[in-house]
Structure 1
C-alpha cells in the first residue's frame, strides 16, 4: 500500500501485482504530485488558445522565442545507442504477439503504442507493460494454437509512445485525483525497465504525442530530469521523439527541440492526426472546409509545407526528421489490388526519402522490405542530417494554406461514417487497431472522419450533387452503415455500435466538436473495469 494511491479497477491479477508494485506506485505518486498541476494548467491554456482562434486570431510563430529560432549555435544531443539509423520504424499496440512480430520484422525500431492504436482497457495497459518488460529481458516467447512465437537475435530497438497529456487514468488515483495517462504509461515503463535497457546497450526511448505548445515539451523535459534523478540514472540518458501532429505544434518545432535538446531524438510527421488538428483548430472558419478525406494527400499545400518545415528544422539542429505512416496492409488473394497498394507505399516512401526524411513508419511487418528497399537505395548513410534543405522557406501562410482540390461526395460521407463507427466500436470493445478496407486504422483516421462530418454539417457544405450535408443525412448513413459494423470488426457487439452511433449523431449536432473521441468514450472502458460512479454518457 502506498499512501494516497488507490487502484479502482476490478480486474486485479498476477500481472497487476507484478507491475503495480509499491515502488512503482510510489514513483507514479511522486510524478503526479510534482507535475499534474502544471499539466492541468497547460490543458487550460489550450482551451484559451482555441477560443482566440474561434474569435478570428491567426496562428503564427511565437514572437517571444524568435531568438531561439534565430540562434544557429545550439544543437540537440547526439542519437542514443541504436537510434543512429531509423530508416524504417514499425508501430503497433503492445499486445504480446504483435510485440514479437514487430521486433522480428526487420525494421530498425518498433514503436509500442499505448496511445492511438491501443484501446486502454486496464487489462491492455497492464499486460502491455508486462509484454514490454518481458521483451526487453528476452523472456517473451510463447506458444499459441500450436505455433511458436520466439524473439530473434538482434530485434528492433524499442520505443514507447505513452498517451497524450490530455488523457486521464481514472482507474488509478493519487490523493483522490486521476493520474495523467501520460505519466502512468511513461512511469511504469521507465521505473521497471530504464536501467535494464541501458545495461543491454540501448536506453529508455519515447515518442511524445499530441503536444500543442513548447511549454508542454518543457514539462516532459522536467519529467525526464526528475525521473532520471529518482532512480539515480545520469541525466540525458532518455531520448524522445516528438510527433508534430497538431497544427499549433507546427509553429513551435524549433522551440520544442530546444526544450528537449538534451533528450531529443527528433520530430515525426504525425500526418493523420495533423489533418484532424488542422480541421479542429480552424473549426470556426468556413473557408477551411475540406473535401473528401481521400483528397487530402501529402501533396496539398498545408501538408507539404509542414513536412518541408519539419525536415529543415530537424536537420538544422542535427536530429532525425521522421516520415509518416503508410497504413496499407497486404491484400491476400488479389495480386492486382495488392500490387496497386504496394506501389502506393513505394511512391510514398520515395517522396519522403528524396525530400530528406531520415526514416518512415509502417503498420505491417510484410511492408518492411518495400520501405527498406526504397530507403536503402536513396539513403546510403544512417541518416540525412547533412541534407540541410536551406531552400525550404516556409512561412505561416504556407502552413495555413487550406486550398485542396476535390469535392464532397456521398461516398466520402459514407467512408467517414464507416471509419468513425468501425474504429470507435472496436475501441470500446477493447481493440485499438482495426484493419478496414486493407488499411490499418487507428484513432487518428477515426478523428478525421468525425470532425469532417461535423465540419460539413456545421458549415452547410454541399455534396457534388448540390445536396446539403445535414445531421439528418448523416443519421441515415449511420443507420445504413451501422448494420455492417459487426461483420467488419471482430469482437464488436450490437451494444458497441449503438453507443458509437448515438455518439456520432450527437457530435454532428454540437456547436463545436469534442476535443478527442478517446476522451469521450473512455468512460465506457472505465465502467467495464469497475470504476465506481461512472454512468452511461449523456451524449
Structure 2
C-alpha cells in the first residue's frame, strides 16, 4: 500500500494580523488543518453536489419519504454510546457567540451547557474566527476576564459552577477564505473544529470533560458519516481515546428529519443527542419545496409555532427517535431578551417561555435552549418539575408516537395565512440582522428577541416564496417585487430617522438593504444568504 500524498500547507491569506493569533495559528495546528483539508474536503464537495441533486429531485416530485435502503437501520436493535457524566444532565442550555464577555457570562449563567457558537450566532470575521478560539482556551485555562466601557468587570465563577461547553462549528457549505492550501479554501467547519480540537481536546479531558460539538445544517446521514470519520481521524492524530468526542446534531433541515435514526447510527460511537429548532427548519422547508406553489406556502414566521401539526410531528418523532436509541432530545430556543424598562413585556414573554418549556418537558425532551441568562431559571423550573432529581428522561420511550412521511410536510394544514404585517416584519428583521452581521455581529437583539442568521434566512426566504407563489395578503395586496422594494425603502428611511444620520452613515445599512433585496428577489434562489454576504464581510 502506497503512502498517502503529503498535505499542501495551509497558509493565512489576506487577513489582518490579530493580537496573540500566533497562539492559535501555530505550525502544528495548521499542519493538522492541512491534513483534515486533504482527507475530507473532497468528500465534502461531493456531498454538496448530492444536496443539489436531491433538491432537484424534490422539485421534480414535490415529496420526501423515509429512505428504503436504510430500513434495516431503523428496524435494527442498536444504541448510541452512553453519555459522559458532563452531558448526562442537559436540562437548560444557553447559546451565544464566543466573544470575551459572552464567554464569561454564558459559563457563569447557571445553565448546564453552553453552546459556544462559531456558526449562526457568529459573523465569521477573521477576528471572530481566531479570537473566539483564543477566548475558549483562555476560559479553560482560567485566564479570561473582561471590563466593559462603563467599568464593569466580568470574571469566571468556581469551576464546579461553570456550564459544560458544546461547541458549534460552521456548516459544511461555508469556506474560510483566509485559510487556504493549493487545493483551495479550507471549509469553515474544519477550521472551527480543527483549531478547537487541536488546542483544547486534552485540556478538556484533564478538566474531567471532553471535546463536545453541536453539528449544524446537515442534510443527510452521509454528512453525519463524514463528521464521524473526521472525529475518528482527529482522535487518532492527537492520541485521544476513540469515543472521547461527543456530537449533538441539529435536525434543522427537512431532509435530515427523514434520516434521524440513520444520522444517530452513523455517529453512534460519538453521538449524544439531537436538537429540534425552528427557524432553520422552516427555512429548509421553503428552500426545498419552493417550487410547490400554494401547498407549501408558510404563513408569517411568528405564526408557525412548535404546536403546528407538522412541527409537532417533527418534534415528537425526534424525541421518540432519540430515546429509542439512548440519546438526549434537546428542545428549541427561547429567544426573548428581557427588558430592563418594561415589566409588562417581561411578564407576557416569561409566560410564553414557560408554556413552551412546559410543553417540551412534558413531551419528553431532556433539555432546551435559552438565549439570555434571565431565562435560565424559567426553563429550569419547567424541566425540574418533570425531571425532579433525574438527569434526563431517556427512559420515556414515547412508543405512542407514529409519524408518517406525509405528516412532516403537511404545510397546507395550517390555518394562518400570510399578512401584510408579516411581510413588513420579514423586511425589518432581515435588513436589521444583515446590517449587524456585516459589522461582525452574529447574535443581534431585534424587537426584544435574540436573532441569528437563521432568522434572516427564513425572513428572506418567505419574501421570495410569497412573491413566486403569487401570495395575496390579508389586505388584498399581492406580494410582488415592487411591493417588497417599496417596503424595504420605507424601512431604510425609518431606520435613518430612528438612529440619526451620523449613526446611519457609520453602519452598513444600504448594503444590507441591497443584499436583502438581492437574495429575496433574484429569480435564482441562493441556497444561503451568508454566501454572498461573506463576500461583503470585512
TM-score (norm 1): 0.95
Which residue does the alignment assign to 1:5?
Answer: 10
Return the match for 2:300 from 292, 303, 307. 292
Structure 1 position 143, deviation (Å): 3.0
Deviates more, 1:14-23 or 1:216-225: 14-23
Task: Say what the alpha-carbon RMSD is for the aligned residues.
Answer: 1.5
SS at match of 2:20: helix
Paired residue for 1:104? Answer: 108
Are 1:147 and 2:152 matched, yes or no? yes
Q: Deviations over 1:290-336 (max 9, x none)?
A: 11112111111211100000000000001100000010111222111
Mapped to 2, the partners of 1:496 and 1:69 lie a distance apart of: 49
Q: What is the aligned length? A: 524
Aligned equivalent of 1:257: 264
Name the counterpart of 1:537.
none
Relative to 1, partners in 2 of residues 1:60 and 1:520: Cα closer, same or farther, differing over 3 Å? same
Output the CA distance in 2 between the equivalents of 1:480 and 1:114: 33
Q: SS at 2:521's partner residue?
A: coil
Give, in angstroms, the shift of residue 488 of structure 1. Answer: 7.0
Q: Does 1:383 align with 2:395?
A: no
Q: Does 1:323 align with 2:331?
A: yes
Quote how far apart the aligned CAs of 1:141 are.
2.1
Q: 2:352 aligns with which of 344, 347, 355?
A: 344
For residues 398-422 of structure 1, what are the alpha-carbon distances to aligned partners after superposition, in whole Å with 9 as ceiling and x for unaligned?
A: 1011021212221111100011101
How far apart are 1:3 and its partner, in Å? 5.3
DSSP-derived class of the 1:118 partner: coil
Query: For 1:505 and 1:96, how far apart are their aligned partners in 2?
Result: 34
- Is 2:439–2:507's contact at 8 Å kept on the other side of the alignment? no
Q: Which runs of 5+ in 2 are unaligned?
A: 1-6
CA shift digits 1:117-145 (9 cap, x unpaired): 10110001111001000111111123334
2:417: which partner in 1? Answer: 407
Cross-structure match for 2:492: 482
Shift of 1:202: 0.2
Distance 1:211 1:116, change over 3 A: same
- What does the per-residue CA deviation read over 1:481-507, in whole Å, with 9 as the maximum and x for residues that have no partner? 113446579987566221221222223
Cα deviation, 1:217-262, whole Å, max 9, x if unaligned, reads 0000000000000001110000000000000000000000000000
CA contact (8 A) 2:9 2:30 kept: no
Q: Which runs of 5+ in 1 are unaligned?
A: 529-539
What is the CA deviation profile of residues 252-294 of structure 1, one whole-angstrom value per residue up to 9, with x for unaligned ones? 0000000000000110002211011111111000111111112
What SS is found at the alignment partner of 1:82? Answer: helix
Match of 1:370 among 360, 368, 378: 378
1:425–1:492 Cα contact (<8 Å) kept: no
1:491 to 1:164, Cα distance in 2 relative to 1, 3 A = farther
Encode CA deviations 1:447-496: one digit per residue, 9 max, x unaligned: 11100000011111001122110000000000011134465799875662
Residue equivalent to 1:522: 534
Distance 1:248 1:298 in 2: 18
Task: Name the CA distance, whole Å, in 2 between partners of 1:283 and 1:291.
Answer: 14
Q: CA deviation at 1:39?
A: 0.2
**Counterpart among 88, 94, 97 of residue 98 in structure 2:** 94
Question: Secondary structure at 1:240's aligned position in 2?
Answer: strand
1:473 to 483, 506, 513: 483
Measured in 2, the distance between the counterparts of 1:523 and 1:310 equals 36
C-alpha displacement at 1:509, in angstroms?
2.8
Q: Secondary structure at the match of 2:199?
A: helix
Q: Answer yes or no: is the 8 Å Cα contact 2:96–2:115 preserved in 1.
A: yes
> SS at the partner of 1:331?
coil
> What is the TM-score normalised by the length of structure 2?
0.95
**Equivalent pair of 2:9/2:31 in contact (CA under 8 Å):** no
Using the alignment, how far apart are the partners of 2:429 and 2:224 within structure 1?
A: 31
Give 2:365's aligned residue: 357
Residues 2-11 or 374-383, more deviating: 2-11
Say if 2:76 is the partner of 1:68.
no
CA distance in 2, matches of 1:460, 1:365: 42
